[in-house]
Amino acid sequence: MTKGKAVTIAVLAVLTALTAYFIIGHTGNSVPTLETGFGILESEIELRHIYPGWNGTAPLTIINGADKDRTFQVTVEMANPNKVKNGYEPLPEDFHGWFTVPEQQIAIPAGSYHQCTITIAVPEDAPQYRSEYTTMTLSDNGEGLYTINQFEVRIRVTDMMPEGLVSMAIEARWYIITAEES
């Protein structure tokens, strides 16, 4: 894709909260509160028209509903091939270097939340990849043919201060849709 072309980048954040337990309330600042456990907002993010040289950021909000301060670890993980969205496949692990998580360990006070920003930067020399679900499509103006691949990657949030023998983790599903000029 040439740099001069206008590329529409749609980031769809479905603001559903995945929680280790359940949501019980809503504060005036539009961040849900939790009775116990922890949760995340921006649990599904769709990044469209990603191409070599593209970069951007996306938010991830972690909510600590516990009655004590907790530390969480944020990591990029390969999606389980048996649990990806229909029509998608796991983003190959070689491409996880596209993601930067500046705050990998985050301490959040009891009853509070923290928003971190994850950066996605696709190298200019990123290899073309043909997935099982590769499709071809015309550009919006009908002038170019593009190869489309659909991948899923997981952003995992792990409670680093487990109670007892059980460690809790929840994951956000990020859908990466690449578009390369053919």
3 in a structural domain: no
5 in a structural domain: no
pLDDT mean over 7-33: 35
55 in a structural domain: yes
Q: Who wins on pLDDT, 41 or 71?
A: 71
107 in a structural domain: yes
For residue range 68-90, what is the model confidence (pLDDT) as tens digits?
A: 899 999 999 989 989 999 888 89
CA distance 105 to 75: 9
Q: Looking at residue 167, which CATH number applies to its domain? A: 2.60.40.10
CA distances to 1, 13, 49, 146 from 4, rounded to whole Å, are 9, 27, 15, 16
Asked if residue 8 has pLDDT above 70, the reply is no
Q: Who wins on pLDDT, 12 or 171?
A: 171
Structure-token match 């990123």, residue found: 126
Asked if residue 14 has pLDDT above 90, the reply is no
CA distance 139 to 51: 14
For residue range 109-160, what is the model confidence (pLDDT) as tens digits?
A: 998 999 999 999 988 887 766 666 556 565 566 666 777 788 899 999 999 8
pLDDT at 72: 94
Length of the chain: 182
Q: What is the mean pLDDT of the chain?
A: 75
Q: Which helix (H) or strand (E) holds 105?
A: strand 105-108
Domain residues for the domain of 74 are 11-181
pLDDT at 4: 28
2 in a structural domain: no
pLDDT at 52: 84
62 within 8 A of 71, measured Cβ to Cβ: no
Query: How many domains does the structure of the chain reveal?
Result: 1
pLDDT mean over 57-70: 89
pLDDT at 107: 96
141 in a structural domain: yes
